[in-house]
Chain A
Amino acid sequence: MPKIKAPVRSPHIDMTPMVDLFSVLLIFLLLTASFRPQEATVITSPASISEKQAPDKDIMTIIINKEGKIFFNIDNGKDSAKHTRMDVLTEMGKQYNITFTPKELNDFGHWASFGMPMTDFKKWLNSKDSKEKEALQTGIPIDSVGTQPSQLFYWVRFSRLANPNAEVAIKGDGETNYKKVKLVMDLLQDNKVNKFNLVTNMEKQEVTLKDVPK
């Protein structure tokens, strides 16, 4: 009797379907995703049930981290022909007698959030080392000097002037002291901003009629 031979199978696996799948995934990711901007600080937002999405454009964000350091961010606005960030920085420079070169202004246009006193601003812009950049981020001062309002006040003021449509978002760490947030809110109210968007993480909470005490 002849032996029954098992059919010879090639040890090759056809990778083509896998490649197809990966290509589809990759294209999908590329098309749907927006890049996460580099943030100046790590924030753990508190949770809420709010489902309202943060606006993409026309928003200025005041970031307050755990230690109470304050960072600021403003986008360039819906109109890409305008350079809101550059305008704001130019105005800030005028206020604090610092002249920025066109290159510095342009660089600033691409950055995301920042937080340092105006005296360190030029250093921060020109620093190439990311570690050094981080070390310079000591927070924007919010204490008024004499009769002169604080630097954050001017950032908000000039941002409002440069982009009147900009909404204000406060992105605070859950562990931040309320006192600090209150200071920021007061400062915003001095700038005639009475509506704030508090950035939160969504967390569902189910409450039904059964929960209502009789």
Chain B
Amino acid sequence: MAEIIEQEKGKKGGKRRPKKQSTRIDMTPMVDLMCLLITFFMLTTAFSKPKVMVITMPEKKTDIKEPEVKIPAWRTLNILLSENDVVYYYIGNADPKKPPLPTLIKSDFSKDGIRKVLLDKNKDLFTQIFTFREKRLSGKLVVADTTADQEIKKMKKNDMKGPIILIKADDKAKYKDIVNIIDEMAICNIASYAVVDITTIELGMLKTAPK
């Protein structure tokens, strides 16, 4: 410790003087205590609050039949999630009445995996939103956060070329796969996507898909 106890040198003879008492207070125990307290607080407190990702699910079907919205087949991109973090995708619909069934293409969650496909499909909108954000960051465009959000929302709404993505997962998929894929949607600025139930046809397609 910081305190070093000086040993009294035994002096032979001489006058006995009263010991000189130091006016200083030894702070070391106090420092020790403070250290302990700080460590305790550091360990027990939660600094960073958890972040959340908001997802809105399509409302469950009720008895009232709503007019079905026709989606052009070339815009639909189906993403199927299965075990071992593998992602499969196909374009269009899988309709058993109209064979042949589309083939599944295998992909993954890496940078060159599904993200490349999504970016390629969503090229226009991504570029639009990206340049808008860049402009704000560089200071060329000064708008409030809320207006910027609205602007981006408008861009997404007006987008008529971007993909419409249907995310489907089978029973073997992990929760993190779903989170990852929704995250990819956010990264690639996809305007419309939904998490929907997997169909039996698609389950069959997954069985024959390349491993």
Contact = CB atoms under 8 A, between A and B. Distances in A.
Interface residues of B, number: 59
A167 B192 CA distance: 23
Contact of B2 (A13, A52, A179, A189): A13
B38 interface: yes
A40 interface: no
Contact of A212 (B49, B119, B186): B119
A56 B52 CA distance: 12
A175 B176 contact: yes
A24 B176 CA distance: 41
A48 to B, nearest CB: 4
A135 interface: no
A177 B170 CA distance: 10
Given A12-B24, A34-B46, A52 B126 contact: no
Interface string B44-88: 111101111111111110000000000000000000010000000
A98 interface: no
A10 B143 CA distance: 62
Contact of B46 (A26, A35, A52): A35
A189 B115 contact: no
A22 B34 contact: yes
Contact of A177 (B27, B175, B179, B187): B175
A177 B55 contact: no
Contacts of B56: 194-196
Contact of A33 (B46, B116, B177): B46
Interface residues of A, number: 62
Interface string A166-209: 00010111111111111001000110001111111110010111
B30 interface: yes
A16 interface: yes
Given A53-B49, A189-B57, A200-B51, A172 B130 contact: no
Contact of A207 (B27, B174, B188): B188
B142 interface: no
B180 interface: yes
B183 A19 contact: no
Given A29-B41, A207-B188, A48 B54 contact: no
A194 B174 contact: no
B57 A194 contact: yes
B115 A176 contact: no
Interface in B5-38: 6, 24, 26-28, 30-31, 34-35, 37-38
Contacts of A213: 116, 119-120, 123
B188 A48 contact: no
Contacts of A52: 51-54
Contacts of B188: 207
Interface of A: 11-16, 18-19, 22-23, 25-26, 29-30, 33-36, 45-54, 56, 64, 169, 171-182, 185, 189-190, 194-202, 205, 207-209, 211-213
13 contacts: A15-B28, A26-B41, A29-B41, A30-B41, A33-B45, A54-B50, A176-B175, A195-B54, A200-B53, A202-B51, A205-B183, A205-B187, A211-B119
A-B complex: 10 closest residue pairs judged by Cβ atoms? A15-B27, A33-B45, A174-B176, A22-B34, A197-B52, A46-B176, A36-B46, A50-B53, A46-B179, A11-B4
